[in-house]
Chain A
Amino acid sequence: DTGVSQNPRHKITKRGQNVTFRCDPISEHNRLYWYRQTLGQGPEFLTYFQNEAQLEKSRLLSDRFSAERPKGSFSTLEIQRTEQGDSAMYLCASITGTGGQGPNNEQFFGPGTRLTVL
């Protein structure tokens, strides 16, 4: 499978614990995006990388959230001191090129990591 992969697919944790998710984009894609989707809502943008540089962060990304893409390939999203409100599906997407208009502007999504905070 050469699509976007995410691990783990499900994570159950207790409030206050730290969790880390991993995203492996399509290999030639240099832009990587993280979104969060809560029940009954559409995905909401969190942050994105171009290669290893984190170029933008949403206001949704509190100080407890940190994302990295150290070698410009896979990315990790860490949530510290989880809260029940963090329960959601965390989606990763990737894209080739530098965006703009045109056929390269299509984000490919992974299956997501479903986080449940008890």
Chain B
Amino acid sequence: AQSVSQHNHHVILSEAASLELGCNYSYGGTVNLFWYVQYPGQHLQLLLKYFSGDPLVKGIKGFEAEFIKSKFSFNLRKPSVQWSDTAEYFCAVNARNAGNMLTFGGGTRLMVKP
């Protein structure tokens, strides 16, 4: 079975600061990787995803993530955060060809101070 860990539960940044949220997964096979975001009062939305190919993927709103297979990591980055990025961020994986059920990390709550 897969497992996902997100190292930071709460992050507070000032606007224009750079962001990196850690995500590590545990699984012996091939996985697909995702970052979802949940803005206050809204439902989960996909930020970006990795299936194969270039390990650096770009998503919406200036976010990107890098898949490092040797480290089982898929960290999320943004060079300069905005107040509107205040949200909870979830890393998730699913095993290929195994029903596509997502396994989520515990989430990181990001607060950006104006």
Q: How many A-B residue pairs have CB under 8 A?
A: 68
With A42-B90, A45-B101 known as contacts, the answer to whether A101 contacts B96 (CB < 8 A) is: yes
Question: What chain B residues lie within 8 Å of A48 (beta carbons)?
Answer: 99-101
Q: Is the CB of A42 within 8 A of B100?
A: no
Q: A102 contacts the other chain (Cβ, under 8 Å)? A: yes
From DSSP, what is the main secondary structure of chain B's interface residues? loop
Q: Is the CB of A105 within 8 A of B104?
A: no
Looking at B90, B99, B104, the one whose CB has the most chain A CB atoms below 10 A away is B99
Q: Is the CB of A110 within 8 A of B43?
A: yes
Question: What chain B residues lie within 8 Å of A101 (beta carbons)?
Answer: 32, 51-52, 96-97
Number of B residues near A (Cβ < 8 Å) is 28
Q: How far is the CB of A54 from chain B (nearest CB, A)?
A: 11
Looking at B32, B96, B102, B107, the one whose CB has the most chain A CB atoms below 10 A away is B102
Q: Is the CB of B101 within 8 A of A56?
A: yes
CA A99 to CA B42, docked complex, whole Å: 25
Binding site for B on A (CB under 8 A): 31, 33, 35, 40-45, 48, 55-56, 91, 93, 95, 99-102, 105-112
Binding site for A on B (CB under 8 A): 4, 6, 9, 32, 34, 36, 42-46, 49, 51-52, 90, 92, 94, 96-97, 99-107
